[in-house]
């Protein structure tokens, strides 16, 4: 499934390239004001930090929420105390778009993450052109030379890579990049199975100084507490915030952990 999601995302980017050629998107990327400092925003603190996600649907959970006004939701996340906002830009299975990212960028002053299946430099340029400050790279979807190339391009453009892992081996590959911001996704993107304890098992293996992000499967404040006590500096929350009623109240409960 991960290979298919990635192949589709690359095909969709190739189609966009017909009307927005590489050089045009590159120029737009370079014309953007400097990216926000996400490492500063997500720096480990006495309290857990939250990356709040704008997510309409997913292949594993189906349709979650309509979200007709992503800017309004992003503003609520900001008011509720999120430290960064993740915007799913994958269209086929997650119902997102680069337009969502651009809208959210204009609505808040928090760092914004492009959450997608990135496998080409063009997609990284698109992210910056739309105003992204962070870009997700999924280790399981990329070979080492591609991972290195995309990581370095993200850094060169002044953005922060969030390197997603799902095993000790992938964590080592992330460490070898010199990654400063590393996530562990509780969900296996090939089988969609959840392992809520994976983060806790991998946390001791993070490289020194890296910010530790626990991704997925936070449904309650108790789940946040579980990740926090296993060593998470940051939790990335989607479903619970888009389906759980008042996002501001939910965020406050998560941040009170
Ligand atoms: O909705 P959840 O279980 O809170 O998960 C959010 C986020 O971790 C999840 O959307 C995610 C993590 N890594 C990804 C990679 C691609 C797409 C989606 C994801």
ipTM for the predicted complex comes to 0.97
Residue 37 maps to a domain: no
Does residue 215 have an active-site annotation? yes
**Which residue's CA is minimally distant from atom 13 of ligand 1?**
185
Q: What is the Å distance from ligand 1's center to 24 Cα?
A: 30
Cα angle, residue 136 at apex, residues 239 and 132 outer, rounded to 5°: 95
Which structural domain range is residue 52 located in? 2-32+42-255
C-beta of 116 in contact with ligand 1 (< 6 A): no
- What pLDDT score was predicted for residue 155? 98
Q: What is the pLDDT of residues 197-212, one digit of tens each?
A: 999 999 999 999 999 9
Q: What is the pLDDT of residues 60-86, one digit of tens each?
A: 999 999 999 999 999 999 999 999 999
Residue 202 maps to a domain: yes
Neighbours of 257 (CB within 10 A): 18
Confidence of residue 48 (pLDDT cuts 50, 70, 90): very high
Does residue 49 have an active-site annotation? no
C-beta of 242 in contact with ligand 1 (< 6 A): no
Q: What is the Å distance from ligand 1's center to 37 Cα?
A: 22
Q: What is the Å distance from ligand 1's center to 236 Cα?
A: 8
Mean pLDDT of 141-150: 98
Q: Which of 215, 230, 239, 250 is catalytic?
A: 215
Q: How many domains does the chain have?
A: 1
Does residue 216 have an active-site annotation? yes
Identify any residues that bridge with 194 across adjacent strands, giving them in sequence order: 187
- Residue whose C-alpha is closest to residue 224's, from 210, 238, 237: 237
Q: What is the Å distance from ligand 1's center to 123 Cα?
A: 19
Tokens of 105: 């960028």
Tokens of 63: 């349709």
Confidence of residue 252 (pLDDT cuts 50, 70, 90): very high
Q: Which of 83, 86, 216, 230 is catalytic?
A: 216
CATH code at 174? 3.20.20.70
Q: What is the pLDDT of residues 9-32, one digit of tens each?
A: 999 999 999 999 999 999 999 999
Residue 153 maps to a domain: yes
Residue 241 maps to a domain: yes
Place of tokens 């850094």: 155
- What pLDDT score was predicted for residue 24? 98
Mean pLDDT of 189-200: 94
């Amino acid at each position: 499934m991960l290979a298919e999601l990635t192949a589709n995302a690359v095909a969709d980017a190739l189609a966009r390239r017909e009307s927005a050629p590489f050089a045009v998107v590159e120029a737009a990327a370079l014309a953007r004001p400097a990216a926000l400092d996400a490492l500063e925003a997500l720096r480990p603190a006495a309290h857990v930090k939250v990356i709040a996600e704008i997510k309409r649907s997913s292949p594993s959970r189906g349709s979650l929420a309509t979200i007709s006004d992503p800017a309004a939701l992003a503003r609520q996340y900001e008011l509720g105390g999120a430290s960064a906002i993740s915007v799913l830009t994958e269209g086929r299975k997650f119902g997102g778009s680069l337009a969502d990212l651009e809208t959210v960028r204009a609505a808040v002053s928090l760092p914004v993450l492009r959450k997608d299946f990135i496998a080409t430099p063009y997609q990284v340029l698109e992210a910056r052109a739309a105003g992204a400050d962070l870009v997700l790279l999924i280790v399981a979807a990329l070979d080492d030379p591609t991972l290195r190339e995309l990581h370095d391009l993200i850094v060169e453009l002044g953005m922060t890579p969030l390197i997603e892992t799902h095993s000790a081996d992938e964590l080592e590959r992330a460490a070898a990049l010199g990654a400063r911001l590393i996530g562990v996704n509780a969900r296996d993107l090939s089988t969609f199975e959840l392992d809520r304890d994976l983060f806790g098992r991998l946390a001791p293996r993070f490289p020194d100084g890296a910010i530790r992000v626990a991704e997925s499967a936070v449904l309650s404040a108790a789940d946040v507490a579980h990740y926090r006590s296993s060593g998470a500096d940051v939790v990335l929350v989607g479903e619970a915030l888009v389906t759980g009623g008042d996002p501001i109240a939910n965020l406050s409960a998560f941040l009170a952990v």
